[in-house]
């Protein structure tokens, strides 16, 4: 009986993760268009002012890290759910926590 309950709990966890994965696939698709928009805006800004917009640099750095976190979650390299289930990333990370402790 206990093994059956344990298996159903594991199956439920996998199904819940699958739902989160579908959610993050949609977010990933949207974020690709955001990167293009940020890139074009920054390019036009540099053409007009000859210097990059600092706020856009910070935002695009965070967005790049966010996309990285989504890919890590979708590829099972991380169990940590990205934003909005955790804090928005400040910028590039040198290390992301992995789902297993032996890495």
- pLDDT, one tens digit for every residue, the chain (103 residues): 566 677 777 888 999 999 999 999 999 999 999 999 999 999 999 999 999 999 999 999 999 999 999 999 999 999 999 999 999 888 766 444 544 444 3
At residue 1, the pLDDT reads: 53
pTM above 0.85, yes or no: no
**DSSP letters spanning the chain:** -HHHHHHHHHHHHHHHHHHHHHHHHHHHHHHHHHHHHHHHHHHHHHHHHSS--HHHHHHHHHHHHHHHHHHHHHTTS--S--TTSSPPP-S--S----SSTT-
């Amino acid at each position: 009986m206990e093994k059956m309950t344990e298996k159903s709990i594991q199956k439920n966890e996998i199904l819940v993760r699958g739902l989160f994965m579908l959610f993050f696939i949609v977010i990933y698709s949207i974020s690709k268009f955001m990167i293009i928009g940020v890139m074009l805006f920054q390019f036009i800004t540099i053409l007009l002012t000859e210097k990059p917009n600092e706020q856009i640099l910070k935002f695009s750095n965070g967005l790049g890290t966010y996309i990285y976190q989504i890919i890590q979650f979708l590829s099972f390299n991380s169990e940590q759910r990205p934003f909005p289930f955790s804090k928005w990333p400040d910028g590039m990370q040198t290390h992301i926590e992995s789902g297993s402790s032996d890495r």
